[in-house]
């Protein structure tokens, strides 16, 4: 994946092309990581009994960005899946972050403000609950 050609300003077409690639590879990477975790999970827990009828919530290691990353690195199968899902959630966030860079390069002040607001709301949702 290569970024738009290094010029002083990027055209809308270059930005569209890069955004398309970003979304495609983001979803692919997320799906592959989550799938790999799923195979692990089924090998280890495939014979367990299903209990989704009662809501118990998830353990702390699966509900925060830092918790997911550290337990995925410890190769906990459920955490590896959750890392894939987190990458999936991060894909649109990365798209917005890239749009911000593009609007900065286009010196489009109105859209720099608009995109910053959206990015802040997204980061608040993802990071605002870290305890």
List interacting residues with other proteins (CB under 8 A). 12-13, 15-17, 19-21, 23-24, 26-27, 30-31, 34-35, 37-38, 41-42, 45-50, 52-55, 57-59, 62-64, 78-79, 81-82, 84-86, 88-93, 95-96, 99, 110-111, 114-115, 117-118, 121-122, 124-130
| Contact yes or no for 61/86 (Cβ under 8 A) | no
Q: Between 6 and 117, name the residue whose CB sits nearer to other proteins.
A: 117
Sequence-distant contacts of 123-127: CB under 8 A, at least 24 apart: 123/93, 126/65, 126/89, 126/90, 126/93, 127/65
Q: Between 27 and 101, name the residue whose CB sits nearer to other proteins.
A: 27
Q: Which residue has the tokens 């859209």?
A: 111
| Contact yes or no for 15/102 (Cβ under 8 A) | yes
User: Closest separation between CB of residue 20 and other proteins, Å?
Assistant: 4
Q: Between 7 and 131, name the residue whose CB sits nearer to other proteins.
A: 131
What does each C-alpha distance from 115 to 16, 49, 80, 86, 98 come to in angstroms? 16, 45, 31, 21, 10
Q: Between 96 and 104, name the residue whose CB sits nearer to other proteins.
A: 96
User: Closest separation between CB of residue 24 and other proteins, Å?
Assistant: 4
């Amino acid at each position: 994946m290569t970024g738009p050609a290094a010029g002083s300003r990027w055209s809308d077409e270059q930005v569209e092309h890069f955004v398309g690639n970003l979304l495609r590879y983001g979803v692919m990477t997320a799906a592959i990581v989550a799938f790999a975790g799923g195979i692990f999970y089924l090998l280890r827990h495939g014979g367990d009994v299903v209990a989704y009828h009662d809501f118990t919530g998830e353990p702390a290691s699966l509900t925060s960005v830092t918790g997911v990353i550290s337990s995925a690195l410890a190769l906990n199968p459920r955490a590896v899946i959750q890392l894939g899902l987190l990458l999936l959630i991060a894909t649109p966030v990365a798209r917005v972050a890239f749009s911000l860079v593009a609007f900065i390069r286009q010196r489009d002040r109105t859209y720099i403000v608009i995109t910053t607001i959206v990015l802040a709301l997204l980061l608040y949702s993802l990071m605002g609950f870290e305890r």
